[in-house]
Amino acid sequence: MSFGPYLFLAFLEGTVTAFVLALTALGLSLVFGVMRIVNVAHGEFFMLGAVLAWYCSTLLEGSPLAGFALALLLAPLAVGALALASDWLILRRVNYNPESTIVATIGLLYIVQQLVLTFYGPEARPVAAPVYFRVSFPWFGYSGYKLIVAGLAAALLLATWYAMSRTRLGLYMRATQQDLEIAQAFGVPVRRVYATVFALGAMLAAVAGVLIVPVQQAHYLMGLDPLLLSFIVVIIGGLGSLKGTVVAAFLIGISDGMISVFFSPTLAKILATLLVAAVLVFRPGGLFGDNRA
Amino acid sequence: MNKTGRNAKTPSPPAAPVSRRRLLQAGAALGGTAGVAGGVVPGMLASSAYAQGSDRPIRIGFQVHRTGIGAVYGRWYERTANAAAAFINDLGGIAGRPVEIVPEDDGTDPKRGAEVVEKLAVQHKVDFVYGPLFSHVVIGSAPRAGELKIPYFVVSEGYHVASGKLNRYVFQPGITDVRAQVTAIAGWVMDNLGKRVAMIYPDYAFGYDHRDFFSAAAESRGGTITAHLAIPPTESSYTRYFPRIPPDTEVLYHVMVGPGVLTFVKEMGEHFGSRRPEIFGFIDSLEGVDIASPGLGFLDGTYLWEALPRYADGYPTRFEANFRRAVGVDANGASAADGKDVATYSHMFGCWETLFAIKEAVEASGYRTPRDYPALIETLEGFRYFNEGLGHPQGGKQFVGALHQCFGQQFISRVADRRLNVVHRTAIEDGLYPPEADYTKQPL
Amino acid sequence: MTTGPEDGGAPRRRLGRVVALHLAIVAALFLAQFLLPAYHYTNVARIMVLATFAIGYNVLFGYTGLMSLGHAMFFAAGMYATGLSVYYFEVTAVPALALGVLAGAVVAALFGLVALRTSGVSFLIVTLMFAQALYLTILYFNEITFGDQGFTLSRALAPLNVAGTAVPFSEPALKYNGAWLVVSLALLVSAALAASPIGRVLVAVRENEERTRLLGYNTFAYKLLALVVSGAIAAASGAAYALLFSYVGATFGSILYSIYPLLWTLLGGAGTTLGPLVGTGVMYYLIDVTSGWTSAYLFVVGGSLLALVLWFPLGIMGAVRARWLRWLP
């Protein structure tokens, strides 16, 4: 294949990766931004979304579209409920102490993994795409569903942005993010905001899992890689900055696409990590962070 | 899990329709025993039946990947080991002693693996340790087995035993190693699919064995490798690799292990459409996966290596049928109890055959207690073949004592109408290579 | 996370007690080898090597208050520096061990120069990322490192010369006493550090870095020092593991092996000198015993972490110190 189409493919792959990455990292970023805590179990929420999508697809066998729709509805609800419970039973009790939260969410990570391993099993199970078509370019073909995933992710990003900037919940969240005490003084129900944000972050991860599972498969160890990539994105973008998260997702997605196509994917991941180091040295708060993190 | 060697989920072999006595005679007559240099050790199966129940059990530690990345394989390995133990017990045990399988999970982790070998050997006081598949667990555990001087039988198909990296106490008598597998099929691929081959393999040791040994075998037959594409184990999207395959490539050779294979196949289909090269792959990636899964349609018309055909008509022998029934697998290669639970059929027979190899070595060497390990090891090293039979349903094996490794036949199947049809069976000689090690020179 | 009351009797008497306690523990570990049955003999040797890892972790986390999710990189640095030098250059055990410790210290110093520009949660994530980068690097250079499969040292490692006799590394007594030597040194170094003026500054950094800086201390330098000591001790553990248990593999650089020392330290009691040793031992046997009736060991790991955070934040030795022995370091 000549250079032009090669580059085009790299760009296409990078864009799809970037949108999915932005969606996955968004929840992590949101939770950090408002609550100042890192949820290490974020990748497991993503994995649970994918696993639940598989259950929905077996429930409505024969109609991938119905199964997909059901999963899009059910998975975020179930995962959101789990997140609410975790917030209630764990995070609130350690008073959202950043380090205790990390240890607790690591604990949660292993418990979720073990539950899925015990009840769902070790297999990687496929889920049929809701719509399937192949986009034919003159030089190669490409999955139509992947393009749809990118579109849906973009829509969800827009919806989140809208929710943050135009709704009362968004106002509460921004107020809490900027100054907890003042927000409290003005009657913002901080505890409820925290619980809501934590659940929302988990739901976004679950939706990302549902969207991605027809492209990958549902497997109990699938959460780790998205978690690490999300960390990279969130750090480079600036912890807690939505704009930064999206920009960094594109930076990482496209560069990962390019480097992987032309060199080695392992090298791409090592370079992305070193990029994190560079960003931290020169802008400790990330590209778009407030630099007080 | 009970320790009598019978898994609740695995039906034990039915007594009917063949009576035990006839079965034993048939087994002995058809050579269900191992050979030593110069001749067959006669009547092992038959003689053991007479000494039945006269002694305490032979305890065999089973190091199993119940959790971690190897869990899909581990589950079927454990079922097979339990079925083999139950079957051997029905035949009268090993040297008249009942077999007891003592399982212990290693989490598919080399650190825990070494600890498990220790626990089985020292705490559970087993006679032998057996069972691991993943190479890093084998390599991590083998030194401790060597230090404890306990025979360690692996079912890993890795080239680490035959390469001489391990030690005198490690054996692989039940499954052919990957180097022999790729050497065996290289000729057929060259002759029938094409000589210009692009290789896609996982970016770790198992993949490198494929890369090195298939490349060498292909080039010695006038083939050319047009591209080497190593894919990292965590990869979840493959589209970007396909453009690197040069257009004049005649054959795409793929071997993948891990959860990504369905994506791989689907994206390969999306990329190539109908203008595809011939495709040859290793079933390792599709072990435990239904060939009729959504997204695998693109595999139709491609070829896969199998060690033991998944579909019962691929190798219809009595021994294979007996094995299939004993481990609870139906004619389509799935669990007889749950048609969606697909077996790891091209690997798990290794657990069955290894247990029989242990049986044959114990009986031929007169092993009774761990004091007899040197005799057992030297006897096993003296074996030259395992005959096809109830104990070796995948086919007869050559055994090279210096390498501690067996060599068996391989199968090539074509995917059609969402199932596998055997199109070629290699001879044992096709896979042989010049030995690079001699364990018999190491001290015991 | 945890702070212990530092007081408990006159300083001199307290110091005497502390020294006596540590020497007694070291002696007890030595004498245990004559009492332990075979299986537990090697287990305790393993625990001592792994506890060294946790002791190193505790220097950074317990004393200095910097939580790391990437200590596997120091363990792996030590393991690979030692393992590769033995495998390729047939370096003998003692210099190989020294190389391993040095490698850990160098990696920690370089890493610290970059990572210590961040703090709190950012520091945590950076430790995780760098450990992952080192892990991927080990895989990337698989031609040299043998990647995920790893390699064994049984063949290349020369026997140790002990008073004129060559003792092979398969000898159980060498495993035990080698592990004992490493853990004793680590324990004494960490206890001495904790008791020293430097240790006081580290605790001050943990409690309030801003105030410590205002008092005129170069907190960056102190944190870097703690990181280097911590990395070197963790590397000593990795190096000892390679030598005594004869295996080097990339698995030891993976994330789980960064979580383990955190778990062991929390369980035993962060910020106590003996906590890491106790925590490692308890966790080891918890997994070993539970594996008899369940293979769900991830539950054991995850459940312990949750329980520790929720109900038992001081850990075992932390609780002992708070309840009974207030003079414990």
Which amino acid belongs to residue C310? L
Q: Which residues from B are below 8 Å from C39, CB to CB?
A: 118-119, 122-123
Phi, psi of B405 (to 5 degrees): -135, 140
Q: What is the pLDDT of residue B240?
A: 78
| B110 to C251: CB separation less than 8 angstroms, yes or no | yes
Asked if residue B316 has a cis previous peptide bond (ω within 30° of 0), the answer is no
Least confident span in A110-124, A224-238, B358-372, C283-297 = C283-297
Cα B6 to Cα B88, B330, C278, distances in angstroms: 11, 19, 39
What CA–CA distance (Å, rounded) separates C277 from C264?
8
Q: What is the pLDDT of residue C294?
A: 72
List of chain B residues with pLDDT < 50: 1-32, 36-53
User: Could you tell me if C29 and C48 are in contact, meaning their C-beta atoms sit under 8 angstroms apart?
Assistant: yes
Q: What is the pLDDT of residue A84?
A: 96
User: What letters, b where the CB count within 10 A reaches 16 and e where it falls short, cover A69-94?
Assistant: ebbbebbbebbbebbeebbeebbeeb
Which amino acid belongs to residue C11? P
User: Could you tell me if C89 and C157 are in contact, meaning their C-beta atoms sit under 8 angstroms apart?
Assistant: no
Mean pLDDT of A4-8: 79
DSSP string, C116-156: TTS-HHHHHHHHHHHHHHHHHHHHHTHHHH-TTT-EE-TTT
Extract the tokens encoding C141.
Answer: 């250079």
**ipTM (interface pTM):** 0.87
At A134-175, the pLDDT tens digits run: 887 877 778 888 899 999 999 999 998 888 888 888 888 888
Extract the tokens encoding C313.
Answer: 């934040």
What CA–CA distance (Å, rounded) separates A203 from A75?
8
- Closest to B6 measured CA to CA, from B74, B73, B90, B97: B90
**Å between C114 CA and nearest CA of chain A:** 6
Which amino acid belongs to residue A221? L
Helices (H), B251-296: 261-272
Cα B168 to Cα A25, B115, C41, distances in angstroms: 51, 20, 25
Q: Which residues from A are below 8 Å from C305, CB to CB?
A: 103-104, 106-107, 110
**Residue corresponding to tokens 């049955």:** C37
| DSSP strand pairing (A141-143 vs A134-136) | antiparallel
At C109-131, the pLDDT tens digits run: 999 998 898 877 778 888 988 99
For residue A264, pLDDT beyond 80 = no
For residue A293, pLDDT beyond 60 = no
The packing angle between helices B135-148 and B205-220, to 10°, is 100
Which amino acid belongs to residue B304? L
Please give the residue that has the higher pLDDT: either C5 or A145: A145
What CA–CA distance (Å, rounded) separates C216 from C213?
5
Mean pLDDT of A166-187: 82
Mean pLDDT of C274-300: 86
At C156-177, the pLDDT tens digits run: 888 888 888 899 998 999 999 9
Extract the tokens encoding C54.
Answer: 């946790």
Neighbors of chain C by Cβ distance (3+ pairs < 8 Å): A, B
**Residue corresponding to tokens 């979720």:** A112
Closest by Cβ to C122, choosing from A93, A106, A235? A235
Neighbors of chain B by Cβ distance (3+ pairs < 8 Å): A, C
**Å between C307 CA and nearest CA of chain A:** 8
**Residue corresponding to tokens 């399937």:** A132
**Å between B263 CA and nearest CA of chain A:** 6
Mean pLDDT of C189-213: 91
Q: Which residues from A are below 8 Å from B74, CB to CB?
A: 122
Q: Which residues from A are below 8 Å from B71, CB to CB?
A: 117, 121-122
What CA–CA distance (Å, rounded) separates A23 from C276?
39
Q: What is the pLDDT of residue C111?
A: 94
Q: Which residues from B are below 8 Å from C295, CB to CB?
A: 66-67, 105
- Closest to B78 measured CA to CA, from B155, B150, B175: B155
Q: What is the pLDDT of residue C9?
A: 52
**Å between A18 CA and nearest CA of chain C:** 19
User: Could you tell me if B243 and B171 are in contact, meaning their C-beta atoms sit under 8 angstroms apart?
Assistant: no
**B63 DSSP β-pair partners:** B104
Mean pLDDT of C197-205: 91
Q: What is the pLDDT of residue B16?
A: 40
Q: What is the pLDDT of residue B265?
A: 83
Q: Strand, helix or coil at A272?
A: helix
Q: How far is CA A14 from the centre of its chain?
A: 16
Q: Strand, helix or coil at A20?
A: helix
| C251 to B203: CB separation less than 8 angstroms, yes or no | no
What CA–CA distance (Å, rounded) separates A11 from A8?
5
B386: left (phi over 0), alpha (psi -120 to 50) or beta: beta
Cα C255 to Cα B48, B97, B390, C130, distances in angstroms: 50, 45, 45, 11
The radius of gyration of chain B's CA atoms, rounded to the nearest angstrom, is 21
Mean pLDDT of C59-81: 95
Q: Beta-strand (E) ranges in B149-275? A: 152-153, 170-171, 196-202, 224-231, 251-254
Neighbors of chain A by Cβ distance (3+ pairs < 8 Å): B, C
Closest by Cβ to A265, choosing from B74, B232, B258? B232
Which amino acid belongs to residue A253? G
DSSP string, C16-36: HHHHHHHHHHHHHHHHHTTTS
Please give the residue that has the higher pLDDT: either B13 or A197: A197
What CA–CA distance (Å, rounded) separates B66 from B74?
5
> Max alpha carbon distance in chain C (Å)?
59
Give first-to-last CA distance, chain A, whole Å. Answer: 46
| DSSP strand pairing (B278-282 vs B303-306) | parallel
Helix (H) or strand (E) holding C206: helix C197-207
How would residue A25 be classed by pLDDT, with cut points 50, 70 and 90?
A: very high
The packing angle between helices C38-58 and B110-118, to 10°, is 150
